[in-house]
């Protein structure tokens, strides 16, 4: 009997060794075992708290429907538009999963942020949403972290090291990545390189290293000196800014390192020396006659002045500006605008920063988020959602980067579109450099995001309107804002609740 | 010695007595002529006054459906002297039709006055010469029939008059040179209706809409996504083009008569009174002949009239809306320039709604979206920035 016991023991030991070996083998090479609840990698990620991971089994006979929210990008070139991109993405995914239907809801550019917040609040979120990343959504628990899908054994060329580190950093909260980074938009002004060179500006240097308020004012003075005696109708203006909203101040404050008007502790961040310095710069530019009149509405003529060669710098410009420039230059080349000025050489420029400081680019990362459906179960659908989100994020970024001033977050894909980002090579370098070094702006909590909105609406915007009208000086701005905030105007409902 | 001439150039040769007699006779002749002219003028003025009063009486008594509040206001009635058609439909049928279309609206005695430039005037030789699209059409038709050999120029001159008289003689009409509805009808040849008739019972379910293709000269009736029937049409001439865009039927009228044929369906084109109507010039179907309206065979328009209710959407497609934007556009603006704006916004993939020439909420939202996308001030209005963005400057 002794030999029998020994044999059984040996068998058990061998079995255990074999099992351990098999588990290890599957752990190292997960494709050796089909996905399911006993997959070692799946168990590993489940133990780490990931309910959704790539080793959740997708039932091949079950029908799945993924709901996707996205933005209808107003881009159409060569007979190809966003609808075609959607169809392509859908077809690609169906080739992998024939039992998955994808339904799209396309929202307007400025609606999607609020819509997804509201949907998450009401537990009616879609499976996938393309939107600028909003960290406050993570608090809801509905967003699926995607780290497990970046596992090197399954990620392919979509591992963590394949993306722009700054973009991933923007999407990481408490050590987890919460969305697939798609593309990065950089805040910029635009300039006419020819005019800037005439004013003594080293344009390429500015695009690489940034420029300070003093540099801008020096440019304005140089241009003004050249304009002496020129009739108002033919004058060239150094700077034409957007003055109907807070966009100009936003970009300047972000470049000054004060991206947000409200601090993490809820106190006002836009006050004191940094705000005064920025406003003084604008005030000085105004005193130097750098702006066209009427200053409160100068932005409404910015493109006319720019394309007629009468504006050296305009700003801020949106991501669609590159598309506008490209289209217009193409049409000018075709002779469709016979009266177009020869001397307009559009370039993207960094936002100026305070003297002595450093150029501080501010970026925003648009991501593709996957959501869990309310209630128990649904991990298989969530896995499909994450995989679809990955595919969509890259396809959309590639397409948009060919059309707008945006940089794909995927480093490999970026190679494919080099030569297409930005209106020219120098602008492209500026954008890619800024995407790599820029700081993502935005609050990390819903409460602060709402406070920010409230402070801007209730105090900053009205004060800025007075400032542009010329009835409020830079030195009085702080006190005016404080007075408005203290005046007791009701805050939005959600701010009170939080 | 020869007798000096009595009338011209002989006054120095006349004796004094004869001269006095001549002066007296001349004065009598002048006085008589003056009297005759005065009487004729008085009679003419009186006749014109009586005619104007009679027209006003007729207009004020004629019943008709009331245009919807969004309908464009009709032109001053007296301008084109368009008479109220003597409707062949019975008052009962007309009343029931009006009650179907606008049950909640009060009955009105306002006249639907089509304004697409078609006129029902009589054409004849007069001074100043009659000019217009109708004269041009007349000349073209007479030329096609072999009675007019000149170049159609839209002026009713002596050669046109001669051609009309020749035609009238050929068709046993009184050769008076006056082109009346009878003359027009005599010019028609061939069959009018080209397709099998359709009844309400045969209509498939689904929203009914009309698509007019000005390049193919067809009007297609859809029910849902199904093509129900396609009709041949005539569209506007190059200098009076049919408006491109997305409109709706806002008024219907039985038997407008004359150039408008047997039915009229008015569209809510903000910059003019355009519509779909029948014709008394059926040969023009299949050509660019109208003043901008969509002309159909009378039989076809009668059928279509019964199949499409008021508010039916009408899509007129075929080429880009033309025009320029020369003013700042904002909410509430209407016109062809707004339609051009809508067209360009849509071409840039911004959802500006139907090409109806109205700057409503949807257009404003599209403008705002565009402004935000490009990073220019978000005003919701269209100024120079927006024209540059749309490639219009």
Beta carbons within 10 angstroms of residue B185's beta carbon: 12
Q: How far apart are CA B179 and CA B164, in angstroms?
A: 7
Domain C-terminal end among B317, B351, B374: B317
pLDDT band with cut points at 50, 70 and 90 for residue A81: confident
Nearest to B373 among A245, A304, A320 (CB): A320
End-to-end CA, chain B: 88
Question: Are B283 and B359 found together in one domain?
Answer: no
**CB atoms A109 and B373 under 8 Å:** yes
Q: Which of B370, B290, B288 is nearest to B329 (CA)?
A: B370
Nearest to B384 among A242, A247, A301 (CB): A301
pLDDT at position B116 is 62
Average pLDDT over residues A319-344: 81
Q: Does the residue B94 lie in any domain?
A: no
Tens digit of each residue's pLDDT (9 = 90 or more) over A283-296: 999 998 899 989 99
pLDDT band with cut points at 50, 70 and 90 for residue A489: low
Q: How far apart are CA B288 and CA A233, in angstroms?
A: 46
Q: Which of B258, B118, B235 is nearest to B184 (CA)?
A: B258
Q: Which domain holds residue B298?
A: 200-317
Q: Rank A66-70, B116-120, B138-142 by mean pLDDT and report only the highest.
A: A66-70
Q: Which of A340, A342, A332, A359 is nearest to A439 (CA)?
A: A359
Domain C-terminal end among B317, B347, B379: B317
pLDDT band with cut points at 50, 70 and 90 for residue A337: confident
State the best of A71, A73, A74, A245 to mutate against chain B, taking most chain B CBs within 10 Å. Answer: A74
Q: Report the predicted TM-score, pTM, of the whole model to 2 decimal places.
A: 0.69
State the best of B374, B375, B381, B392 to mutate against chain A, taking most chain A CBs within 10 Å. Answer: B375
- The torsion defined by the Cα of A106, A392, A404 and B342, in degrees rounded to 10, comes to -20
A397-411, A416-430, B181-195: least confidently modelled range: B181-195
Q: Does the residue B46 lie in any domain?
A: no
**CB atoms A302 and B385 under 8 Å:** yes
Q: Is B277 a catalytic site residue?
A: yes
Domain C-terminal end among B267, B282, B317: B317
> Would the pLDDT of A263 be above 80?
yes
Tens digit of each residue's pLDDT (9 = 90 or more) over A117-161: 899 989 899 999 998 888 888 888 889 999 999 988 887 888 888
pLDDT at position A435 is 87
User: Residues 6 or more apart from A292 whose CB is under 8 A from it?
Assistant: A235, A237, A240, A298, A301, A305, A311
pLDDT at position B11 is 40
Question: Are B243 and B348 found together in one domain?
Answer: no
Average pLDDT over residues A484-493: 64
Beta bridge partners of A66: A102
Tens digit of each residue's pLDDT (9 = 90 or more) over B228-278: 888 889 998 877 889 888 999 999 988 777 888 889 999 998 888 899 999
Q: How far apart are CA B129 and CA A417, in angstroms?
A: 68
Peptide bond into B247 cis (omega under 30): no
Do B276 and B169 meet the contact criterion of CB atoms below 8 Å apart? Answer: no
B144: helix, strand or coil: helix
Do B340 and B363 meet the contact criterion of CB atoms below 8 Å apart? Answer: no
Partners of residue B351 in chain A, C-beta under 8 Å: 72
B39 at A interface, C-beta within 8 A: no
Tens digit of each residue's pLDDT (9 = 90 or more) over B333-360: 998 899 999 999 988 888 888 888 899 9
Percentage above 70 pLDDT, chain A: 96
Partners of residue A341 in chain B, C-beta under 8 Å: none
Partners of residue B393 in chain A, C-beta under 8 Å: 304, 307
Q: Is B116 a catalytic site residue?
A: no
B258 vs B192: which has the higher pLDDT: B258
* ipTM over cut 0.90: no
User: Residues 6 or more apart from B264 whose CB is under 8 A from it?
Assistant: B112, B114, B251, B252, B253, B256, B275, B276, B277, B278
Q: Which of A210, A171, A173, A167 is nearest to A188 (CA)?
A: A210
Partners of residue B377 in chain A, C-beta under 8 Å: 242-245, 297, 299-300, 302
Q: Does the residue B304 lie in any domain?
A: yes
**CB atoms A244 and B369 under 8 Å:** no
Could you tell me the CATH number of the domain that includes residue B280?
2.40.440.10
State the best of A81, A83, A108 to mutate against chain B, taking most chain B CBs within 10 Å. Answer: A108
B378 at A interface, C-beta within 8 A: yes
**CB atoms A245 and B378 under 8 Å:** yes
Domains in chain A: ranges and CATH: 40-186+363-440 (3.40.190.10), 195-318+339-359+445-497 (3.40.190.10)
Question: Are B357 and B291 found together in one domain?
Answer: no
Q: How far apart are CA A256 and CA A261, in angstroms?
A: 12
Average pLDDT over residues B5-15: 44
Q: What residues in chain A have their Cβ under 8 A from chain B's Cβ atoms?
A: 72-76, 81-82, 108-110, 242-245, 247, 297, 299-304, 307, 316-321, 324, 327-328, 331
pLDDT at position A466 is 93
Do A168 and A159 meet the contact criterion of CB atoms below 8 Å apart? Answer: no
Q: How far apart are CA B333 and CA A113, in angstroms?
A: 31
pLDDT at position A138 is 87
Question: Are B279 and B208 found together in one domain?
Answer: yes
**CB atoms A303 and B384 under 8 Å:** yes
Q: How far apart are CA B103 and CA B363, in angstroms?
A: 32
Percentage above 90 pLDDT, chain B: 27
Say how many CB pairs under 8 Å bridge A and B.
Answer: 82
Do A397 and A409 meet the contact criterion of CB atoms below 8 Å apart? Answer: yes
C-alpha distances in angstroms, A298 versus A323, A470, B184, B328? 23, 13, 61, 16
């Amino acid at each position: 009997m002794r030999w029998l016991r020994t044999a059984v023991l040996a068998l058990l030991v061998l079995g255990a060794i074999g099992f351990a070996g098999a588990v290890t083998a599957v752990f190292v090479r997960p494709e050796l075992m089909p996905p399911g609840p006993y997959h070692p990698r799946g168990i590993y990620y489940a133990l780490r708290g990931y309910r959704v991971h790539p080793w959740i089994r997708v039932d091949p006979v079950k029908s799945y429907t993924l709901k996707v929210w996205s933005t209808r990008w107003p881009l159409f070139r060569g007979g190809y538009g966003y609808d075609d991109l959607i169809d392509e993405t859908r077809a690609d995914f169906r080739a992998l999963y024939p039992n998955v239907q994808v339904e799209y809801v396309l929202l307007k550019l400025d609606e999607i942020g609020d819509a997804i917040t509201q949907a998450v609040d009401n537990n009616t979120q879609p499976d996938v949403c393309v939107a600028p990343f909003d960290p406050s959504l993570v608090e809801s628990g509905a967003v699926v972290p995607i780290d497990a899908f970046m596992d090197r054994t399954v990620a392919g060329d979509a591992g963590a090291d394949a993306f722009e580190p700054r973009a991933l950093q923007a999407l990481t909260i408490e050590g987890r990545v919460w969305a697939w980074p798609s593309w990065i938009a950089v805040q910029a002004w635009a300039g006419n390189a020819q005019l800037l060179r005439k004013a003594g500006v080293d344009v390429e240097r500015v695009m690489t290293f940034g420029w300070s308020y003093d540099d801008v004012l020096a440019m304005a003075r140089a241009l003004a000196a050249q304009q002496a005696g020129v009739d108002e109708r033919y004058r060239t203006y150094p700077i034409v800014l957007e003055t109907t909203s807070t966009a100009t101040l936003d970009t300047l404050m972000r470049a000054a390192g004060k991206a947000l008007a409200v601090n993490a502790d809820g106190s006002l961040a836009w006050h004191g020396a940094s705000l005064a310095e920025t406003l003084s710069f604008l005030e000085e530019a105004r005193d130097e006659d750098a702006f066209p009149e009427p200053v409160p509405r100068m932005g409404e003529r910015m493109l006319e002045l720019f394309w007629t060669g009468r504006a050296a710098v305009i700003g801020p410009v949106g991501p669609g500006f590159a598309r506008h420039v490209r289209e217009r230059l193409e049409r000018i080349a075709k002779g469709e605008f016979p009266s177009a000025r020869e001397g307009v050489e559009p370039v993207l420029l960094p936002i100026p920063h305070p003297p002595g400081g450093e150029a501080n680019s501010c970026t925003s990362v648009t991501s593709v988020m996957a959501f869990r459906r309310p209630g128990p179960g649904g991990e298989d659908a969530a896995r499909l959602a994450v995989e679809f989100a990955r595919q969509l994020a890259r396809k959309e970024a590639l397409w948009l980067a060919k059309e707008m001033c945006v940089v794909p977050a995927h480093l490999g894909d970026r190679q494919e579109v080099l030569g297409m980002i930005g209106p020219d090579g120098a602008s492209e370098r500026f954008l890619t450099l800024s995407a790599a070094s820029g700081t993502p702006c935005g609050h990390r909590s819903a409460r602060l995001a709402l406070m920010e909105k409230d402070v801007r609406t209730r105090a900053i915007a009205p004060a800025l309107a007075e400032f542009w009208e010329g009835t409020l000086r830079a030195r009085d701005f702080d006190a005016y804002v404080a007075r408005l905030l203290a005046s007791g105007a009701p805050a939005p409902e959600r701010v009170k609740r939080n | 010695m020869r007798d000096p001439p009595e009338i011209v150039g002989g006054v120095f040769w006349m004796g004094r007595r004869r001269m006095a007699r001549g002066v007296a006779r001349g004065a009598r002749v002048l006085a008589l002529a003056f009297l005759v002219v005065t009487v004729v003028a008085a009679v003419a003025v009186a006749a014109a006054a009586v005619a104007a009063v009679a027209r006003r009486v007729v207009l004020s008594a004629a019943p008709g459906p009331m245009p919807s509040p969004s309908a464009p206001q009709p032109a001053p009635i007296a301008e084109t002297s368009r008479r109220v058609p003597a409707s062949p439909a019975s008052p009962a049928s007309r009343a029931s039709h009006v009650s179907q279309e606008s049950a909640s609206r009060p009955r009105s005695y306002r006249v639907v006055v089509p304004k697409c430039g078609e006129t029902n005037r009589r054409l004849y030789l007069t001074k100043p010469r009659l000019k217009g699209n109708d004269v041009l059409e007349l000349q073209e038709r007479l030329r096609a029939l072999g009675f007019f050999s000149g170049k159609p120029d839209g002026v009713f001159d002596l050669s046109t008059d001669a051609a009309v008289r020749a035609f009238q003689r050929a068709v046993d009409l009184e050769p008076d040179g006056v082109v009346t509805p009878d003359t027009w009808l005599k010019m028609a040849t061939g069959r009018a209706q080209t397709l099998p008739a359709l009844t309400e019972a045969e209509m498939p379910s689904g929203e009914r809409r009309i698509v007019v293709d000005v390049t193919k000269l067809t009007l297609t009736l859809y029910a849902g996504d199904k093509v129900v029937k396609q009709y041949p049409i005539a569209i506007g001439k190059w200098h009076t083009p049919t408006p491109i865009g997305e409109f709706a039927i806002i008024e219907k009228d039985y038997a407008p008569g004359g150039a408008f044929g047997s039915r009229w369906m008015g569209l809510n084109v903000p910059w003019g009174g355009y519509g779909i109507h029948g014709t008394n010039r059926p040969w023009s179907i299949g050509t660019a002949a109208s003043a901008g309206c969509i002309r159909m065979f009378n039989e076809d328009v009668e059928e279509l009239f019964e199949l499409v209710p008021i508010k039916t959407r009408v899509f007129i497609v075929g080429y880009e809306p033309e025009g320029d934007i020369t003013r700042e556009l904002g909410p509430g603006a209407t016109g062809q320039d707004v339609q051009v704006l809508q067209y360009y916004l849509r071409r840039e993939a911004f959802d500006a709604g139907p090409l109806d020439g109205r700057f409503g909420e949807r257009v404003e939202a599209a403008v705002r979206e565009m402004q935000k996308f490009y990073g220019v001030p978000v005003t919701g209005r269209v100024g120079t920035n927006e024209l540059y963005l749309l490639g219009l400057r």
